[in-house]
Amino acid sequence: MPAPVVPTEGLGVLHLFFRIDRQVAPSLPPGAGKDLVTTLEELVDDAEVQLHLFSVLGHKADIMAFALAQDLGALRALQTAIQSCSAGPALELTYSYLSLTESSEYTATPEQYREEMAAKGVEGEDLERRVSEFAERMRTYGQDKLYPQMPQWETACFYPMSHRREGDDNWYALDFDERKRLMHGHGRTGRGYTGRVLQLVSGSTGLDDWEWGVTLFAHDIDDLKQIVYTMRYDEATVRYAEFGPFLTGLRRSPEELVTELGLLGPA
């Protein structure tokens, strides 16, 4: 067996988008749909991989398979399993995206927080208590970013994005403090959707065509629309953000998904 390919920290993230080839589907062997259900159920139950399945709306794809794993070989095996099952000839892989979970470089350290609190006049035991609580919050926050357990919410949207590098609107020409200021403002907007939208931003610089992959989970599809609309007014987005295609889907179990796509015929 090949040696595991594991990031130094965090998880590999793979988005696979399949379209049903309606010319090929009628010629699939009997039971191909059930074989696809069984394959997806086994992958959902695989302890090595966290797999979320969505039925995609629109022409760009029919299936979104969103998977996270520590070993990138497990993600490759998942892709192979889907494509090599008996329904595989009718599954056209129209788009994919590879990224890694990451923590933010703009998060304050306990030392920085201590200086900020001390400048506000906090001292003694109160200061130590606040710093300790802050450090614990940041530890939990960092672990959630690197090793997320994404929820079973009903809708999801994926899109890739990069920071602009054009003339005066060159993100990478800004100094660190200015970038941190802009990202903190961007984060405040996002926190207004706590409990309504859960966001995973995974890094893909050097791995895929854009710099980040963004996956949004929500109970209500209108919240997906609203958070993206609202955040486009942030300065960090107005001046420095470029977006790729958006793909939106509805969560489905393997059997629900295959049935909805018309592949679950008689055995």
- For the annotated catalytic residues, the residue numbers are 159
**In 10 A of CB 257, how many CB atoms?**
24
Of the candidates 18, 3, 19, the one whose C-alpha atom is nearest the C-alpha of residue 74 is 3
Q: 265 near 176, Cβ under 8 Å?
A: no
C-alpha–C-alpha distance, residues 49 and 78, integer Å: 8
**DSSP 3-state helix, strand, coil percentages of the chain (rounded to 5)?**
40, 25, 35
Q: Which residues contact 227 (CB under 8 A, 6 or more apart)?
A: 190, 193, 196, 197, 216, 218
Question: How far apart are the C-alpha atoms of 254 and 44, rounded to whole Å?
Answer: 9
Angle between helices 32-45 and 72-84 (to 10 degrees): 170
Which two structure tokens, joined as six digits, stand for 82?
């889907």
Q: Which pair of structure tokens corresponds to residue 46?
A: 């695989």
CA–CA distances in Å: residue 46 to residues 50, 75, 266:
8, 11, 27
247 SS3 class: strand
Q: Which residue has the tokens 């710099």?
A: 211
For residue 226, with 0-12 CB atoms within 10 Å meaning exposed, 13-18 middle and 19 or more buried, which class applies?
middle
What amino acid occupies position 248? T
